[in-house]
Every structure is written in C-alpha cells, then in structure tokens.
C-alpha cells in the first residue's frame, strides 16, 4: 500500500495514524529497539519484575507495547492484563491508591471474564473486606447478587466514584487509603490464584498504559514517592512512564524500586559528533519510501526531511505530510526540497511560539554544546524534553541534542 499521488501522501502520512495490522507493511524496526530484551527478560526472569517503559511523544510506544503483547511467546507464557488508566480512573486526580484499586479491579474482572474459578475463601474474604470498605454510592448493592457479583460491583462502584465524583472521591479516599495494605494483600492473593489455577495457571503480566500522560508532578509522585508501594503486587508489570521520570534528578531513588527501565529510542540518525549514521538514516528513509512511490519525493528533499525529524518517527511523518500539502498547493507533481523547507519553517514557527523564556534558550544552547542534560532547574529542562525541543538518543552511549528544527531559533 503505497501512495501513488500527492493526495494519497497527505492521507498516508497522517500523524494521528498508528500502525495496525492493516498497515504492518509500513513498520520499520529500529536498530536498537529494546523489544527483544524486554521479551527475554519477561520470559526468563523469575522475579515479579517491574519495568518502566518510556519514549518521546510520537516515538511509537503504543505500537511497541501492542507488538509486545501480541508476541506469540508472550501470549503463550502470560496471563496478560493490559489496560489504560484513562478508562478506569480520574485522569485529573490520579493517586497511587487509585492505581492499585484499578489493578485490583482489572485482575478480578479478567479472572472472572476468563472463567477462572477463584477459591471460595478468597471470595469470602474479599466480600467481607469490600463490605467494610464501603463506597459512598451503594446503588449497585443488591440482596440477591452472588458473591462474585458483589465484589465486582464494589470495584466498579469504587473506581466509578474515583472517576467521576470529586467530593465523593475525597470522602472515599479518606476511608480507603488506610486500607491500601489490605488491598495489596488481596491483589497478591488474586495473582496467586490466577498463577496457580488448576486449569493451567500462567504468570500474570500487567501492562498499564497512559501513565505517561498525567502532569509531571503526578508522575513523579507515583513513581518516586509511592514507588515502594507500587512494586508490591507480586507479578510482572510494565508501566508506561513519561521520560521526565527517568531523567529527573531523582532517578537514583526511582531506580531503587524500578531497576529495569527501557526507553524506546529515537532513530540515531547522527552520532554525537554530528556525523550521519547510515543505518538509522536509511531506516528513516525506508519509513517514507514504504508509504509512497519513490518518484513522489526528490531524494534530497527526503534526506532533508529525515535530518529535520531528528529521528522521531511522528515528526518525520508530520514533515512529509506538510511538505506534500505545500506541493499540492503549489501544483507540483512531487515533493521537492523547497516544500520540505516550507514545512520546516512552519514547524519552526510553532516551536518559536513555545520558546518564550531566555532561560530555555540557555538550556538548549548548553545541551547543544555538551550533548548532556544539565541544568540547575530541572523542570524547564524536562519541559523542553517533553516538547521535543531536546531529543534524547538513549541506550548504549546515549546523548542529547537540540531538535534540528529548533537550532536556528537559538542561534546554533
């Protein structure tokens, strides 16, 4: 499936589009993708490993996690519970206790949904406990509901309260938070029940998505302050986290609880000295050439788009789409360098709007000079990473560089 005219290029290079089964022929693997390493670790590490998984916005994290959970060996080896916090929790007001509650709910529901019979003792204890930790709203309770139904309804009601009721969730949290240790015990009993189920129990693998989206302070609170609690579920868990957690000054503290951290790297299209790295460069070219007929883009234009993308997939997609738009408007038959220039100038304007503090300019200049991330004040630096003004090239001898589109704005 390749674009054969510019209108199709606009369609096929839509930055909203992630790769699915229909478009898998567009997938280009990156040279230092941690997929295999994570897979081996999950399959062979005997401990209830916790992995923090990160990457720049637009680097393809969701696709990578989908690929991981769709891997036959992983599917075969694990009882996989994959969910987004957005579905269950109030994204405006997310705490560690809420997250644990969502984990408990998902595990219980998945076990129930896959007809795993949990033992009676566990169910009775859970019922007793949930009755004690009452939820403010009790609509779901009913005299004739079976035990499992009652527990499920309790979880539903609890997360429902957290998701929607501002005043109610405060009241509920006050009651519930002192009992988080008890919840963790129940989570571990459910995990144990799933893993030792007579019908051929499998190890539990939790994949929790969208934890990279809350504000930085919320993420730091979860993984820094509440890290010791979040690692207590006795199963393997992959958390998606914002890069700011991995690159904060508190990383040593985070590492104590989450020693395994992986970053989906950007394509290292240049080395730290600024010289072109052919392998990654050609991968980026390949991403484009798998989606359009080669005559639709001039080779020099393609190289310039790759260079300006900084190795970030979605940025490359966006540049090509914008260049194609320009080519269509100027009635060209193919994307030329001048069209990519136009796109780059436009995106530079967007960054210029965001770059309003002299302090940020100084940080960027320092990063460009040293290829390191050093600043007295952490927050503006992390914000610059989030906004893709600073790009990170991790794994192996990692380094940082200023987004090529931004460099002109800081005079380097």
Partner 1 sequence: MSGSLSESEVKATGIEWLTTRDREAVAEIVALVANSRSQGCVYFGICNNRLKVAALEAELAKQLRIHGIETAPVVLAERSESEGQPAYRVLIADPVAYFATNGPARPTLFLVRGLPELIRSEITEEGSGPAPVSQRLNYGREVFRHQVICALFWIDPETSRYLAERARDFWSFRSGTSQFDDGPCEPGAPSEVRGDWQSEAGSSRWHGDLQEKLSQLAAYRSKSPRDESSIASLLLEIGRIRTEQHDLQAALEALHDAEETFDRLGNRRQLSNVKTRLSWAYKVAGRLDRAEECARAAIALDEELHDEASLAADYSNLSQLYYARGELDEAERWLRKAIALDERLGNERALASYYNNLSQIYDARGELGEAERWLRKAIAIGEPLGNERALAIRYNNLSQIYQARGELGEAENWLRKAIAIDERLRNEPGLATRYNNLSIIYKARGELGEAEQWLRRTIAILERLADEPHLAIAYNNLSQIYQARGDLAEAEQWLRKAIAIDERLGDEPNLVIDYNNLAQIHKAKGDLAEAERWLRKALALAETKGSADALATVKANLESLAE
Cβ-based nearer residue to partner 1, 86 or 127? 86
Q: What are phi and psi of 397, to 5 degrees?
A: -75, 85
Name 234's Cβ contacts closer than 8 Å, sequence gap at least 6: 48, 188, 191, 192
Cβ-based nearer residue to partner 1, 7 or 178? 7
408 binds partner 1 (CB under 8 A): no
167 binds partner 1 (CB under 8 A): no
17 binds partner 1 (CB under 8 A): yes
Q: β-strand 399-402 against 390-393: which pairing, if any?
A: antiparallel
333 binds partner 1 (CB under 8 A): no
Give the per-residue contact string, 341-380, with partner 1 (x = CB under 8 A; - = no).
Answer: --x--xx-xx-xxxxxxx--x-------------------
- The pair of structure tokens assigned to 254 is 């985070």
> What is the Cα 205 distance to its own chain's centre?
16
7 binds partner 1 (CB under 8 A): yes
Touching partner 1, residues 199-238 (CB under 8 A):
210, 213, 215
Region binding partner 1 by CB under 8 A among candidate stretches 45-53, 107-115, 340-348, 370-378: 340-348
Helix axes 337-354, 299-309, angle to 10 degrees: 20
We find the least distance from the C-beta atom of residue 281 to partner 1, in angstroms, to be: 23
Interface pick for partner 1 out of 69, 387, 395, 398 (rule CB under 8 A): 387
Q: Which of 295, 294, 355, 350 is nearest to 319 (CA)?
A: 350
Touching partner 1, residues 44-103 (CB under 8 A):
57-58, 86, 91-92
Question: Are residues 180 and 211 in contact, defined by beta-carbon separation less than 8 angstroms?
Answer: no
> Please, is 44 exposed, middle or buried when counting C-beta atoms within 10 Å of its C-beta (0-12, 13-18, 19+)?
exposed
Q: Count residues binding partner 1 (CB under 8 A).
A: 42
Question: Are residues 35 and 208 in contact, defined by beta-carbon separation less than 8 angstroms?
Answer: no
The pairs formed by 278-283 with CB atoms below 8 angstroms and a separation of 24 or more are: 279/31, 280/30, 280/31, 280/311, 281/306, 283/28, 283/29, 283/30, 283/31
30 binds partner 1 (CB under 8 A): no
329 binds partner 1 (CB under 8 A): yes
165 binds partner 1 (CB under 8 A): no
Cβ-based nearer residue to partner 1, 42 or 220? 220
CA 115/CA 109 separation, integer angstroms = 10
Cβ-based nearer residue to partner 1, 207 or 317? 317
337 binds partner 1 (CB under 8 A): no
Binding site for partner 1 (CB under 8 A): 7-8, 10-11, 14-17, 57-58, 86, 91-92, 210, 213, 215, 314, 318, 321-322, 325-326, 328-331, 343, 346-347, 349-350, 352-358, 361, 383, 386-387
């Amino acid at each position: 499936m390749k674009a054969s005219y510019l209108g199709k290029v606009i369609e096929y290079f839509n930055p909203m589009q992630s790769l699915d089964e229909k478009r898998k022929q567009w997938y280009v693997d990156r040279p230092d993708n941690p997929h295999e390493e994570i897979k081996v670790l999950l399959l062979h590490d005997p401990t209830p490993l916790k992995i923090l998984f990160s990457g720049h916005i637009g680097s393809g994290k969701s696709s990578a996690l989908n690929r991981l959970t769709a891997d036959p060996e992983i599917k075969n080896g694990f009882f996989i519970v994959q969910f987004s916090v957005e579905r269950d929790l109030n994204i405006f007001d997310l705490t560690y206790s809420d997250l644990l509650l969502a984990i408990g709910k998902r595990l219980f529901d998945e076990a129930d949904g896959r007809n795993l019979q949990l033992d009676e003792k566990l169910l009775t204890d859970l019922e007793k406990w949930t009755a004690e930790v009452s939820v403010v709203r009790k609509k779901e309770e009913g005299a004739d509901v079976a035990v499992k139904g009652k527990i499920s309804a309790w979880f539903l009601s609890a997360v429902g309260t957290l998701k929607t009721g501002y005043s109610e969730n405060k009241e509920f949290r006050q009651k519930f938070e002192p009992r988080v240790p008890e919840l963790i015990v129940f989570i571990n009993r459910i995990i144990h029940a799933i893993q030792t189920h007579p019908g051929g129990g499998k190890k539990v693998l939790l994949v929790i998505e969208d934890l990279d989206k809350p504000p930085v302070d919320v993420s730091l609170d979860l993984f820094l302050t509440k890290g010791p609690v979040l690692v207590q579920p006795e199963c393997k868990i992959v958390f998606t986290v914002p890069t700011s957690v991995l690159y904060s000054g508190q990383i040593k503290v985070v590492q104590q609880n989450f020693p395994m951290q992986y970053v989906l790297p950007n394509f290292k299209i240049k080395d730290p000295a600024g010289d072109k790295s052919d392998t990654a460069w050609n991968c980026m070219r390949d991403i484009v050439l798998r989606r359009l007929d080669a005559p639709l883009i001039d080779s020099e234009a393609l190289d310039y788009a790759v260079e300006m993308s900084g190795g970030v997939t979605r940025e490359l997609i966006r540049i090509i789409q914008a260049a194609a738009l320009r080519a269509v408007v100027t009635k060209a038959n193919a994307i030329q360098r001048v069209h990519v220039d136009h796109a780059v100038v436009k995106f530079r304007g967007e960054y210029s709007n965001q770059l309003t503090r002299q302090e940020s300019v100084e940080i960027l200049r320092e990063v460009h000079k040293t290829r390191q991330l050093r600043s007295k004040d952490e927050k503006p630096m992390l914000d610059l990473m989030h906004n893709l003004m600073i790009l990170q090239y991790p794994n192996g001898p990692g380094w940082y560089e200023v987004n090529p589109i931004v460099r002109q704005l800081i005079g380097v």
